[in-house]
C-alpha cells in the first residue's frame, strides 16, 4: 500500500480525491475522482474492485500511470 500511496502523493492534483475502502460486499475498492468544486467533478480517473488488496493497489497504480500518460503526457 505504501508504494501506491507514495506514487499517488507525488502525482496528485489539488482537485483529486482518493478513496480506498473495504466491505464484505464490495471487497477492496479504490477510486480516484475529483472534488465537488472541480470543473471535472463527476468524472472518474479510475475505479476498481478486487478481493485481493495487493492486486487492487498494483492495478490502481497501473491505471493511474496509464491515465497520466494519456492525459498529462507522462508522470
DSSP type of residue 39 = T
In this structure, is residue 14 part of a structural domain? yes
The boundaries of the domain holding residue 60 are 2-67
> Per the structure, how many domains does the chain have?
1
Q: What is the largest CA-CA distance in the chain?
A: 38
Q: In what order do the strands lie in the sheet with 16-23?
A: 16-23, 27-34, 44-50
In this structure, is residue 73 part of a structural domain? no
In this structure, is residue 75 part of a structural domain? no
Q: Per residue in 16-65, pLDDT tens?
A: 999 999 998 879 999 999 999 999 999 999 999 999 999 999 999 999 99
In this structure, is residue 74 part of a structural domain? no
User: What's the predicted TM-score (pTM) here?
Assistant: 0.90
Amino acid at each position: 500500500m505504501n508504494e501506491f500511496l507514495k506514487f499517488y502523493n507525488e502525482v496528485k492534483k489539488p482537485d483529486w480525491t482518493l478513496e480506498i475502502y473495504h466491505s464484505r460486499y464490495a471487497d477492496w475498492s479504490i477510486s480516484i475522482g475529483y472534488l465537488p468544486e472541480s470543473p471535472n467533478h463527476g468524472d472518474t480517473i479510475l475505479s476498481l474492485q478486487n478481493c485481493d488488496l495487493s492486486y487492487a493497489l498494483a492495478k490502481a497504480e497501473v491505471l493511474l500511470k496509464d491515465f497520466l500518460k494519456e492525459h498529462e503526457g507522462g508522470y
